[in-house]
Structure 1
Amino acid sequence: MADNLVSLQVKQSGHVAEVTLLGPGKGNAMGPDFWRELPIVFRELDADPAVRAVVLTGSGKHFSYGLDLPAMMGSWSDMLAGEALAGPRTKFLDKVREMQDSVTAVADCRKPVVAAVSGWCIGGGVDLISAADIRLASADAKFSVREVKVAIVADIGSLQRLSGIIGEGHLRELAYTGKDIDAARAEKIGLVNDVYPDQEAVLEAARTLAADIAKNPPLVVQGTKDVLDHDRAPRVAEGLRYVSVWNSAFLPSKDLGEAVQAFLARRDPEFTGE
């Protein structure tokens, strides 16, 4: 396994690997280290014949607060400063596609991935669990496709993958409003399979489920996942490519600048549609 990981911890018990988000940002926020390390870890797990299933969870009380906005702003500064020309837009497009590929590495892992979610799962956190095969939650879990509230079209996979998980109506409601939903609502709409009393219980349930999967013939399980993904994967890939181009063209706005300033000042933004 990759050495010197900063944002992720990987352990293995039997044929089950456990990947834990570490941050280092508050609430396991997803900064540059996360986006760099995630595909490395999951491609190594994919290639390891000793691994037959993966549990994905977060350290501390929360799964993830999502994108570490302050940590990522530096790489977007040219794009967001005034009239962005072709150069900055191309660099931004490349960055978005790198981030998309990071999460897609989870979806493309041939070993089934079971996400165990506790506390907050926001924005990029939802992108990540959408790429898992199965999602479980603790009773305190809360979910939000929140990008709209910071003047961003979600572009890392939620809009492409969630329609096949929760259906178009529920996806559009979450994506248009940026509202928070609790674990009970998440279970009702199919975002998670089951809800457990607390973090310890959901993690144990995820480990048990992953172990059950790992008992089956590994090539047959991998073949089953491949067949299930056959129709979805090309549609998701096309959607990701489209949204990356869309955001490269339209992301810079006065509303985005207002969202960033409001976030840093911890106040409510006032959007003008500019």
Structure 2
Amino acid sequence: MSDQQWTAFEVSISDFIAEVTLIGPGKGNAMGPDFWRELPEICAALDRDDDVRAIVLTGSGDHFSFGLDLPAMAGDIGKVLAEGAKARPRTEFHDMVRRMQGAISAVADCRKPVVAAISGWCIGGGVDLISAADIRYASADAKFSVREIRVAMVADVGSFARLPQILSDGHLRELAFTGKDIDAERAARIGLVNDMFPDREATLAAARATAVEIAANPPLVVQGVKAVLDHSRRPAVDDSLRYVAAWNSAFLPSDDLTEAISAIFEKRPPQFRGA
């Protein structure tokens, strides 16, 4: 596993701990086609590996992830935005969303506990990803944003399925309706992260230390604890994911989404009209 070459990740294993690091290739570890293809393969391999008892998930460089690599994924999204898009492009879009959901769910469904170490920006898809982790630590410079609403999208690959079990309803709705950025201090205060540390190195060290503590316990019992904790919430998560995939396949195409994508490429504020 450690010897295998990945495009969007680096994976290392030592002393029963796997460290999975986002490495791009997009700026800010943005999530392009390679990310969505490789993540479930990595999670499945680590799940099968008896030499792995816990996983540390982090990002390379200054940031955890800028979220969806919109330029790299624009072609797939563009099919459903085409004027008069009918059943086939909408079905293909639905299938793509379900595959992307499956990539994030692979993190949540892995039997080995996942500890996320977050520094810098964690935006959109980055929040989807950390919501699938079991434990989340942040550095003092971390910033979080459920930003999909600002690009005329409903977040559809995990945040709205899993954050209701992490945040209070009011805090989640505030983040989801505004798309605002919050810092690590507030993220810790509202429960989005377990704890905050001075910098990236200290955050990663804390994540590794917790992973070591987990790995010292009986591995099958740890997996049993995770299975029991996940049992009651999994049906609600699955139902939410199915519903939002269908909702976006029907309602995502809009003038506002076209305007949002154009504004990103033209580096200007979008002008939404509710159409």
For normalisation by structure 1, the TM-score amounts to 0.99
Pair 1:158-2:175 in alignment? no
Q: Secondary structure at the match of 1:65?
A: coil
Q: Which residue of 1 aligns with 2:76?
A: 75
Distance in 2 between the 1:160 and 1:171 partners? 11
Q: Which residue of 2 aligns with 1:209?
A: 210
Aligned residues: 274
| Amino acid paired to 1:207 | R
Q: Which residue of 1 aligns with 2:140?
A: 139
Distance in 2 between the 1:185 and 1:263 partners? 28
In structure 1, list runs of 5 or more residues that go unmatched: none
Pair 1:175-2:176 in alignment? yes
Write the deviation string for residues 154-183 of structure 1: whole angstroms up to 9, x where unpaired. Answer: 000101100111121111110000000000
Distance in 1 between the 2:77 and 2:70 partners? 10
Distance in 1 between the 2:231 and 2:62 partners? 35
Q: Which residue of 2 aligns with 1:248?
A: 249
- Tell me how large the CA RMSD over aligned residues is: 0.7
Write the deviation string for residues 15-48 of structure 1: whole angstroms up to 9, x where unpaired. Answer: 1000000000000000000000000000110111
| Amino acid paired to 1:92 | F
| Amino acid paired to 1:260 | I
In structure 2, list runs of 5 or more residues that go unmatched: none
Distance in 1 between the 2:147 and 2:254 partners? 18
| Amino acid paired to 1:242 | Y
Distance in 2 between the 1:221 and 1:44 partners? 18
Give 1:236 deviation, angstroms. 0.2
Give 1:4 deviation, angstroms. 2.8
Distance in 1 between the 2:236 and 2:131 partners? 15
Distance in 1 between the 2:249 and 2:64 partners? 29
Q: Which residue of 2 aligns with 1:224?
A: 225
Q: Secondary structure at the match of 1:173?
A: helix
Write the deviation string for residues 194-253 of structure 1: whole angstroms up to 9, x where unpaired. Answer: 100000000000000000000000011000000000011111001000000000000000
Give 1:78 deviation, angstroms. 1.7
Q: Secondary structure at the match of 2:270?
A: coil
Q: Which residue of 2 aligns with 1:49?
A: 50
Give 1:3 deviation, angstroms. 3.0
Distance in 2 between the 1:228 and 1:206 partners? 20
Map residues 1-274 of structure 1 onto 2, 5 A cutoff: 1=1, 3-274=4-275
Give 1:86 deviation, angstroms. 0.1
